[in-house]
Chains A and B, each alone.
Chain A
Amino acid sequence: MAADRSAEIAERVREAAARGTPLIPQGGGTKAFLGEAVAGEPLPLAGHEGIVGYEPTELVITARAGTPLAEVEAALAAQGQMLGFEPPRLGAASTLGGVVAAGLSGPRRPWAGALRDFVLGVRLVNGRGEVLRFGGQVMKNVAGYDLSRLMAGAQGTLGVLLEVSLRVVPRPVREQTRVLALDAAGALERLAGLARRPLPLAGACHVAGRLHLRLAGAAAGVEAAAAEVGGEVMGEAEAAAFWDGVRDLAHPFFRDGEGALWRIALPPAAPPLPLAGEWLLDWGGGQRFLRSAEPAGRIREVAAAAGGHATRLSGPAAGVTVFHPLPEPILRLHRRLKAALDPHGILNPGRLYPGL
C-alpha cells in the first residue's frame, strides 16, 4: 500500500535517539551481505512507498524510499526512460532507499555515471529524528553542502532516507553487443586503446576469455562503432541476459566457484593483478570481481598497491572487514561527520566501520 509514513518513521528515530537504541533501516532485506553485522531494532521502510513525482520531460523521478525498485523501473520503461546507472537488482524486494543507501552501480557506470551522479535530492530523517531536505529536483543546485549525494553508499548510517529524487535518462534507440576472444591482459590493452575514441560504449566486461562490448545510442552511431570495434555480434536475447547477469551479480561467475568473492576497484588501465583465482572484469577494467582463496590481507595489499581498494562481498568473516580500511585522517573525518548527523550513534552503527 502506497502511503507516506514519514511522521511515524521520524517519531521512531526520535524515540530511539532518546533511548540510545540502534536502528537498522530495512528496505527489502536483499543486501545484508554488503556490510558488517549490526545489532539493533529493525526499522522497516515497507509501506512507505509510492512514486510522488515523475514528469518525463523533466528527466526526474521522485519516490518514497520503500518503493520497490521494480516499480520505479517499470514506470520509467513505460516512458522510454531508465536509471542510467543500472543499479544491481539483488532481489525482487530491493527498494529505492536501499539502492541509494547501498550506492551500487551497474555496467553502464564508467560512461553514464555512478548512482551518486544521478542523485538530485533527498528527504531524510537524521539521527536526531529531524526531517530534512537537501538538494532538490533540478539538475543544477549548489545551495548549501551537498548532503544528498553523501547519502549514496552511506548505508543508512547518516540518515534514514524518506524520499529520493533521481535524474533519469532516455533509453538508447539501439543497442548491440560485440564479443572479442581475448585474454584479460589483451582485453585491458584493447580497452585502453578504445578509451580515446568517442565511441557510444555502454558496457565493457571481460569474463572467461571473452571481452563483451555493449554499444548503445542512435542507430547509425551504434552501427558505425560496431564496425570499428569488430568482433562478433551477440544475439539480442543472449546479450540482454548477459548484461543482466553482470548487473545483478547473477552471472554463473558469481554463483559457482570456490573461495570468497571480492570486488576490487582499480584505475581501469591497471594491468591484471597477481592474485590467484577466477576473475570477471567489468567497467572497462575499473571494477574487477575476484573469487579467490588468497588471504584478505594480501588481496587488500595488492589492490592498494595498484591504486585501488577491495570489498569482501561474501559477507563478514572472522577477522576480515567487509570494507577496505580507511587512512586515519579520513577515518577521523568520517567519525566527526557521523556525529554531526547522528550524534547518538543510533543509525546502523558499525555497518561500515567500527563506530560508523
Chain B
Amino acid sequence: MELNQYLEMFIEESKEHLQSCSDNLLQLEKNPDDLAIVNEIFRSAHTLKGMSATMGYEDLADLTHKMENVLDAIRNEKIQVNAEILDVVFESVDHLEEMVMSIAGGGDGKKDVSQTVEKLKRIESGESIQQESTPSETAAAEVAASTTVLENALQLQYDDFEKTVLLQSTEQGYNAFEVSVTLMDSCLLKAARVYMVFDILEKNGDVVKSSPTVDKLEEEQFDQDFKVALITQTDADELRSKILKVSEVDSVTITQISEDLFVQSAVVESEEVIELAAEDVTVVPNAEAKKEETSQKPSTTKHAASKTIRVSIERLDILMNLFEELVIDRGRLQSIATEVNHSELNETVERMSRTMGDLQNIVLTMRMIPIETVFNRFPKMVRTLSRDLKKKINLEILGAETELDRTVIDEIGDPLVHLIRNSVDHGIESPEVRRANGKPEEGNVTLRAYHSGNYVFIEIEDDGAGINRERVLKKAISKGIVTKESALSMSDKQINELILASGFSTAEVISDISGRGVGLDVVKTTIESLGGNISIESTEGVGSIFSIQLPLTLSIISVMLVEIEQEIYAIPLSSIIETSIIKNSDILNAHNQKVIDFRGKVVPLIFLDEIFDVPRTPKQEDEYHSVVIVRKGDKLAGLVVDTFIGQQEIVLKSLGNYLTNIFAISGATILGNGKVALIVDCNALMK
C-alpha cells in the first residue's frame, strides 16, 4: 500500500481526534460522572489507534492502546475518574500530539513514553500512581484493581467486526467458543505451551481473538491463564481433550459464546448510532446530559452532520487568483457594455455580474475558518500551565465562531500562545497573593474574538496584577529603550506598550513558561506584519487587556471610486460613513483647518487634490464640493474630491517591493479599462 498518499489525511485526522480527546477530557474534568464523555474520548482514541496501527506507527498505536484500556475501565465504571488519572491521560495526549507532530514534520513518530505507559498500566491495574497517596485510597484502588484484573481475565471484549464474524459463523452452523486455558504453576516455557495450544486451535478452526493478545502471549506477558475466541466445527469435548494433551496445561474450560453477546452488541450499536446522530437522543436514559453536551459542542456533531472535503490551501489560492482575473475582466466587460450600449450585451453582463457576486461570496467564505481552530488548543495549555505554576485559573473563551481568513489564522496562533502564557505567568498572581489582596483565589483569563467593520478584534483579558509602571519604566530606562527625560512625558498607555518593545522582558527570574529568550516584541512584529496592531490597557492590581486588531485581509474589497481631475482613486467602503455634497458656504475655518458641521459634529476637511499634489489645469472654484465622510475609530474626516464615480468591487494589488511606504496609499487595483487606480489609506490621513 502506498502510505504516503494517506499520510496527510492521517495527520489531519489524528490532529482532529487528539483535539477532540483533549476537549472532551477538559469536559470530563468538570463532569467526572458523565460517561458519555468518556465514550466520546474512547471512540477518538480507538479510531486513532486503528489508524496509526494501519499506518505502521507502532509507538503511537501502542500508547493509544494503553490509554484506551484506561478509558475502557473508566467507562465500564471499574475505575473512578480523578485528577491524577486525568493528569496521566492528558500527559498521554500530549505525547501523542508530539508523536503526530513528529510524523507531520517527516519524522518516524517514535518517542520514549515508557514512564507514561507505566503510569497508565498502573491505573489500569488499579494501583495508585503516586506512592504517597493515603492508605484508604490505595485500599479502594486495590479493590478496584482486583475486580478489574478478574473481569479482564474472564471477559473477552469484542469489537464490531469480531462480533459480526462470530455472528455470521454461528449462523452458518459453526461453533463459537471461548476457550480458557490455565497452565500449571510450574510451567517453565509458557510461550511454547501457548504456541502448542494455538497450533491445535488453528488446526481445528479460526482464532478470532485472544486475551491477552498474541504478542503478549508470545512474550510470556501473562500469568497462568489466557482466553481465546474460536470458530470451529469441532465440538467442545474433542477440543478440550486435544488441548489437554499438551503438557503442563492445568485445565481447559470451553464455553459456547452466548447469544447474549449479540444482544448486548446490538444495544451498544444502537447506542452508538444514536450518539453519532446526536440530535434525537430521547431513547437513551441520560438523554438530557447528552443533549446538553451536543448543544455545547456543535463541532463534534458537525462531523456527522455535514459532508466535507479537504482542499489544500494552494488550490484555494489558485482559485482565488483566477477569480481575481475574472473580477478584473468583469469590470472591463462592464465598461465596454456601457460604451457599446447594446441591450442584449448589457443584460448578459448584468447576469454575469450577479453570478459572479454569488461566486465571490462562496470563494471568500471558503477561505474563512472559525478562529475556534486556534482557540481550542488553549484550554489544555492553560490547564497545564496553571498546574505547573500552581495557580488557579479559569479560562473563558468567547466568540470562537468568529471567522477569519485562513492566512491570518495560520499566523495568529503563535502570538496568542505568547500572550496567554504572558497573562498566566506574569498576569495572574499565585492563589496566596490573590487571597492576601482580597481577590478570589481563582484567576480569570478571558479570550474574546469579534468582528467589527472590516476588522477582527481579539482580546486577552486577565484579572491579575496588571502592569507595574515603575518597574516597566525602570527596566526600559536601564535597557536603554527610553531615556529618563522622555519617560517623564509618556502616557500610561505608552508605558504599558513598552513591554512590547524589543529587548524588553519584565520577568525578574526567567521561568520555563515565558522566558524563552523571545519577548513580546515578536508578538508585536507578527501582528503588524499581518497589517494589524496591538494595544494594552492595564490597571495595576486589577488586570490587563491585550487587544489585537486584525484586518480580514481579503484580497477583494468594495470601494468607492472617485475622480480628482483626470485621476481615479479608490476609497475602501469599510472606512466610508457616507458621501455628501456641500456648499462653499458650509465650509468653516477653525485655526488653519477647514471644517464642516456634519450632523452636529465638527469634521475636518481633507482636500485630496492638495494631499496628492494632483496637477490642476487652472483651478475653477466650484460652489459645490463632493465630500466622502470617512472614519477611523471614532474620529471622522471629510475627503474632498471632484466627482464620485460609484461603488465597485476591486482586487487589491500591491505596489510591489520597489514602492513601499507611500503616504496615504495602501495599494492599487486595476480598473475595467485596464488602467491602474490607487487605493486611499484613510487611516493614514487621520492622525
A complexed with B: no
**Residues on B facing A (Cβ under 8 Å):** none
Chain A residues within CB distance 8 Å of chain B:
none
